[in-house]
Structure formats: C-alpha cells, structure tokens
Amino acid sequence: EHFEAFFRKTVSQRIKPIAIDSHTAMCEALLGRMPVIAWAPPMACARVVTHGGDAPLRLIRHGCNTCRAAVVHRRDRIIEGDVLNQLSAVWIGQDSTAGYLLPRAWLWSQGVPPERMLRKELFVQSYPAALQAVLTGRADITTVPAYGHRGKRTPALDDLRRSEREQLQILLTTDSAPNDGIAFSAEVSPAIQSEVVSAFLEAASSVEGRTLLREVFGAEQLEYCEDGFASMGAVLLASQGLSNSKVEHQAQIETPWSHWSEELKFATILFADIVDFTACTSTLQPDVVHELTNEIFAPLTRAVERRGGTVLKYIGDCIMAVFGVPRAHEDDPHRAAEAALEMSERLHQLDERFEKRYGSRIRLRTGLHTGLVMVGAVGGG
C-alpha cells in the first residue's frame, strides 16, 4: 500500500506492485517481454543489465552501500577439525549474494571447494527460515547479511528473540558485494525509468518516502550505481572457484570489430562528446577525473547496448558507437536516436550533482549519421 500510494503521486503511469516468491521468478520476469521494475538482488541486477535493461540504483542500509555475509552456527556445534567435511548448510538461493555466492567465494578463496566441505545443502526462501533451520538442527551453518565495519551489524540476528540469538554465534564474515538494487527490464521506457529513478532518489526527503524506504526496502535511501553491478561478475566467478585472470587466460580477448570482415554495410553511427569537459576538469586530480569519467560513461554505454548498439571506442570525453553492425535491425536509425535521447536524459540527471560538486554544468553534444560505411579493422587490427 505504501508503495502504490507513493508512486501514484510521483509517477505519471500507474505502477502495480506484485510479490514474487523467488529470485528465479524475479529474474524471469525482468528478462521477459513485459515492462518490469523490481527491487532485485545484485546478481539479478547484473543479469538485467547484460540483457539490455538497467539497474541504476542501489540501496543504502545501515549507512552502507555494500554488505558482507556472516557465517552463523549454533554455539553448541563446534565447527573445526574433522567436522569441517561433514557440515550441512542452508542457503537462500543460488542468486543470493549474502545467502549463497559470498560464502562459497570465501571457501574457494581458502582453497576449500564447497562440495568437499559440505555434505548437504538445503535451500529456503528467507534468512529467518535459514536461521530457524540452524536453530532446530536441520543444518549446521547458514549466512546472513552483515553491514558496517567488518560486518558487525546483522539485522537478521537482531530480529530473533533473545533466547534464540544467544544460541547462535558468528564464525566469520566474508568480503563485501553491492547491496540490492532497483532493476528495470529492457521494456521499460526511458521516460518512465527517469520518473521512477527521480522519485526514489527524492524519497528520503519526505516522511512518506522515508516510510516507504524503511518498511518496504529496509533502507535509509538509494544512490546511483553507475557501474551497473559489474562487480557481481567477479563475485559469481569466485563462487565457482574461478577468477577474472583465469577466465582471461582461457579466452582470447577481442575488440568489438576484430572479427568483422571488410565490407560496405548500411549502419548508423553515433558520436557524442561532453561539452567543455577538459576545461571543467582541468583543476581536478587525475583520480577524480577518472572516477567522474566512469560515472558519466557507464549510463551512456548502457543506453547504446540496451538498444542493440555496439560501443566502438572512447576518445577522451567522447563515445563512438554503431547500430546495424554486426547485427542489423530494420529500425537501427530509430534505435540510435532513442539512445541519443536517453544519453541526454541520463546526463541531465547527473548535471545537478556535478554542479554542486564542481561548480560547473555538463552538457552533451550528439551527432548521428546513417548510410553506407566501410566496416573492418584499420592498421594492425
């Protein structure tokens, strides 16, 4: 009710809230053909982005935009020595960050394959259910989200009755990963997405909005997540005992055009640059310019990729993309124009924050050209 009432006032199109009972069902909805907006776990957000959607926001909980996993067991169950290869674990789901991916990544980082340590793995729908499984002896260990310095805040444990909480203790905490985010399927229009993003960002400034954030999301506010949850790729690999370096060693890294044959193609080229970016950033430190450039280009890149375009290169403060190569669509010029409009909208959203931080505005110039172009590598490829 809080959710529907809040968005009835802030968004021009009706948003109908529905409950989804599993991470798998949520991913299927977000990757389907319907316009879907979801509060989603980080892994689901990352998948949506790779399938042409967007995940521009993440939650702030207990003052943190990341969380760890705290491994929990009963105090009367000693977890050491010969017992380590006889444990049973209860998880939330294979897409759950704190409830599956982070603890498995930690085990691999210690040189311990999870299958060697765990004799049985159970799955439940929630952290309270997982804790009850440990309390009743159905499982030896589980994990809960942990926030703050070294993961000292564990709300799932705090919500237990005191007698239950005293039966449990934390064995260890893992590395961190992003908090949950707000994901938009590829079918959500940029205009509606912009309205929803603005409503969420402004929610913390009103009593009604703060109530929504607290009671629905368990959060204090939301913030931009400009990397599109890209770091979840490393978490997923680590949970499988892999690393980026191993994967790169096994696969040949290609530029987008390295496999294109040299031929004439009908395509649309998009070229965009940030007006006076060099002058605006000339007084900033290099690391700040680097961070700012990434913050700006991440949503611009997603605007291209979610419409089937390919980013060819970044040139200083410019981005060059192509629509129609290697995969052609009948409406490639229209897709490119939509991407250009979304780029302008995205930069407009960043403009106010940029002015507050650095005292100057940022604007985007965009050019489009449609026609026959020569496709292929130049020079050494």
Average pLDDT over residues 51-69: 91
Q: Which CATH architecture has domain 66-177?
A: 3-Layer(aba) Sandwich (3.40)
> pLDDT-based confidence at 204, cuts 50/70/90?
confident
Read off the pLDDT of residues 77-125 as tens digits, 9 standing for 90 and up. 877 655 556 789 999 988 889 999 999 998 888 888 887 788 889 999 8
Would you mind telling me the total number of residues written for the chain in this entry? 381
On whether the CB atoms of residues 375 and 295 are closer than 8 A, the answer is: no
Q: Which residues pair with 268 in a beta bridge?
A: 323, 370
CATH 3.30.70.1230 fits 263-375, yes or no: yes
Residue 17 — φ and ψ, nearest 5°? Answer: -75, 135
Instruction: Tell me where in the chain the CATH 3.30.70.1230 domain(s) lie.
Output: 263-375
Confidence band (pLDDT; 50, 70, 90) for 135?
Answer: very high
| Tokens at 264, concatenated | 């004439």
> What stretch(es) of the chain map to CATH 3.40.190.10?
2-63+179-239, 66-177
Provide the whole-model pTM: 0.63
* pLDDT greater than 50 at residue 325: yes
CATH classification (class only), 2-63+179-239: alpha beta
Q: Average of pLDDT values for 151-162?
A: 91
In angstroms, the CA 237 to CA 120 distance is: 22
Cα–chain center distance at 355: 26
Pairing mode, strands 141-146 and 66-74: antiparallel
